[in-house]
Structure 1
Amino acid sequence: MDPLTHVIDPNGEVIIVLLNAGSSFAEMSEDKNKKKGCQFVLDPLEPLSPPIAEPAISEDPTPTDEPILSAEPVPTGDTPAERAVQQPVETGIVPESLDGNSFRIQVSAKHLMFASSFFRKLLTGLWKENVTNLERSPVEITAEDWDIEALLILLRAIHGQQYQILRKLTLEMLAKVAVLADYYDCKEAVYIWTTTWIDAQEEEVPKTCSRDSFLWLWISWFFQLPARFEETTSTIMSWSDGWIDNLGLPIPDRVIGAMNKRREEVIDNLICRIHQTQKDFLNGSRGCIYECRSIMYGALTKEMQSNDLLSPLPTSPFPGKNYQQLAQKVSKFKSPQWTAWTSRSSAFDSPYRHNCLNSTFATIFSGLNGTIEGLHLYSFIS
């Protein structure tokens, strides 16, 4: 049997065997919609030999309802942002020998069961029937693909080892911890760290659609941060060039669906507005005189053609188009200028530059919002 690599509880009755640690996490790739899952194997083991990878950590109780105060310096450095997790995959028999991407972590069954409904369901029956056997011969729980640093942060939080937890995490590490807490249904274990971790974030919500935007979307959803959620959904919807998905993060389908629906509706409304304006110039319901209607119709048609808005008519889900850039292009439609003539007397006409409410695109498309309004978090929380 391979030695332990980490000890959370030296008297723990459970060994978590993490295989294939540090697999890809929230990748913006073609496999974004691939389904993931996890399965565990419970196997009785031979009695444990003393751990050799790291010394036992004391189990002195630490208050969890107020900021940590310690004579020892509390770690404040960023946890290295390793390549991380998709949700774990079902595993089979535990390998006889673990490779460099595998870890063995000794933990307490009681702590796991108290903090996590997932572990409670998994271990309750076995615990009641085999307490004595478990103390002599722990069971193994195998998981796959999780990031080892994120898993250790969660396990230490579950075991009340608050002094061992970093106050500052990278954005990616925070997202990984949130995925784990969500999967194992133990959000309360990290609840007291929410404000500390969020306030320590150096990465602001990006101003364009990017991977970090989706990490912030997940974090703002999981930790219920209304302002960040609204800002992030606005950014992603405004800048997305096509169908929005969750990058494999456990963001509810109803949220992603609402984002796609709003993005498509707003783009469709803008395109319909442009085409309706063109029709209005053509049928004479817009424009003050014949020359005004004709010149503005031609100018608008040329702008529509040059921006791929004329034919074929763009249709949902509008691939390759993002609302922010589209709105910016419309706001920069070039208005024609021309000279008209008016009779000041019966003797002669005077030229003047034509100017009416329908002779400039800036006036016609005034009030155009450059971004899509973000979603409201609490409308998705029952």
Structure 2
Amino acid sequence: SRYIQFMNTMASQNLVFDPEGDVKFTFEEEAVENGDEHKKAGKADEKDSNPRGKRKRSNSTTPEAQIITMLVSSRHLSLASNVFKAMLRQNFQEGNELSLNGTVTINLPEDNPAAFEILMNIIHAKNRSIPKKVTLQMLAELAILVDKYRMHESTGFLADMWIAELEEDIPHKMCEDLMLWMAITYVFRHEEHFEDVTATARYYTVGKRFRFKQGARFSESLPIPEKVIEEVDRLRQHDICLALSKIGALIKRLQSPQPKLCPASIFICESSLLGSLLRSALSLKLWPLPEKPYEQLSFHDVSSSIKKLEILSYCQANHKGQDGHFIMDGIQREVENIRSRQFGVEIDFTGH
């Protein structure tokens, strides 16, 4: 949005998308400190990727907020958004006021004005004002509004362009940006990227809920459906359970009367295998086996711990075998096979 410097305790900015518009939206936005460079927020060439609400405050007296108004056409709104179409009918307060007075003012305190401005440029065909690139944070803000106001049809082709500019930076680790991508790819129906992002979450997520830093802008507002979170967690638990079952099965076999894991079936060797495995698993918190729902574990945590397990054999100490009869090699292959089958959440976006 067009952030401006000002000296008064309150300033206003009036944006006109239709001179004959009959709907006025109002927003209140925290001001930038005096001396900050005028920026067009959301453009991808900006160095600062902070979303709205994290601007620096100066020590001097600065205005707390600016009022932004946007004059728009109810007809364009209704064509682009079923939510606004319903809101502007006479059975809603806003629609009734519009019908009686010919105009209506709607306050949107929770919406990002920078993202909303982009959407208004789109639906009013202000093509020269529509950015060709946006930051990841701005794309997430747009996704929030598109989902909230059901504006998928109006924005789909532009979202494809914005995503194409950013897709090389999709992270392959658990971080806040990954959650932004999950919301973006879900809202804009990017099936392939959505599956990739949820596959990464399946591998790295600790517990059911995705964690944001305290006070993060997007911690509560991202349009990620509960069914997606539930499915990522179900897959996470399934993978962890499967990996741990390999360790449990090995311990159970070593506890049996005839494990047959030592080629020579030497009792002291198989006892050494069991003892070293239990001791190593205990130190790595893999024994006793963790139980569902594994709230403090990710599959990455479990697989990394399994790689650190040490199994020692009597034969190995006496140069008759190597590396615990290579038992862990087999376990490692099984865990790697689990990892290789970790696909993302599949959703048929054609039905959405």
Q: Same fold (TM over 0.5)?
A: yes
Matched, 1:117 2:82: yes
Matched, 1:336 2:316: no
Instruction: List gaps (5 residues or longer) in structure 1.
Output: 23-74, 86-97, 342-350
What is the CA RMSD across the aligned residues, in angstroms?
A: 3.1
Which residue in the other structure is 1:306 paired with?
283
- Partners of 1:296 and 1:359 within 8 A in 2: no
Which residue in the other structure is 1:10 paired with?
19
Letter in 1 for 2:334: G
- Partners of 1:79 and 1:173 within 8 A in 2: no
2: distance between equivalents of 1:239 and 1:232? 11
- Partners of 1:21 and 1:145 within 8 A in 2: no
What's the offset of the Cα at 1:4?
Answer: 5.2
Matched, 1:83 2:92: no
Which residue in the other structure is 2:346 paired with?
377
Instruction: List gaps (5 residues or longer) in structure 2.
Output: 1-10, 32-42, 54-62, 212-218
Q: Deviations over 1:316-347 (max 9, x none)?
A: 23233221132122123223254489xxxxxx
- Partners of 1:331 and 1:362 within 8 A in 2: no
Letter in 2 for 1:172: Q
* Aligned residue runs from structure 1 range 1-382, under 5 A: 5-19=14-28, 77-78=45-46, 81-84=49-52, 100-125=65-90, 133-134=101-102, 138-201=103-166, 204-245=169-210, 247-248=219-220, 249-283=222-256, 284-288=258-262, 289=265, 290-311=267-288, 313-339=289-315, 352-354=319-321, 359-369=326-336, 370=339, 373-379=342-348, 382=351
Among all aligned residue pairs of Structure 1 and Structure 2, give the percentage whose two residues are the same amino acid: 24
Distance 1:365 1:293, change over 3 A: farther
What's the offset of the Cα at 1:294?
Answer: 1.1
Distance 1:285 1:377, change over 3 A: same
Letter in 1 for 2:51: R
Letter in 1 for 2:276: A
What's the offset of the Cα at 1:231?
Answer: 1.5
2: distance between equivalents of 1:282 and 1:209? 38
Letter in 1 for 2:127: Q
RCO higher in 1 or 2 (8 Å CA, sep ≥ 6)?
1
What's the offset of the Cα at 1:210?
Answer: 0.6
What's the offset of the Cα at 1:99?
Answer: 6.1
- Give the structure with higher Rg (CA): 1
1: distance between equivalents of 2:319 and 2:125? 80
Q: Which has the higher helix share?
A: 2
Distance 1:299 1:184, change over 3 A: same
1: distance between equivalents of 2:206 and 2:12? 49
- Partners of 1:299 and 1:335 within 8 A in 2: yes
- Partners of 1:169 and 1:197 within 8 A in 2: yes
What's the offset of the Cα at 1:291?
Answer: 3.1
What's the offset of the Cα at 1:3?
Answer: 6.0
What's the offset of the Cα at 1:5?
Answer: 2.1
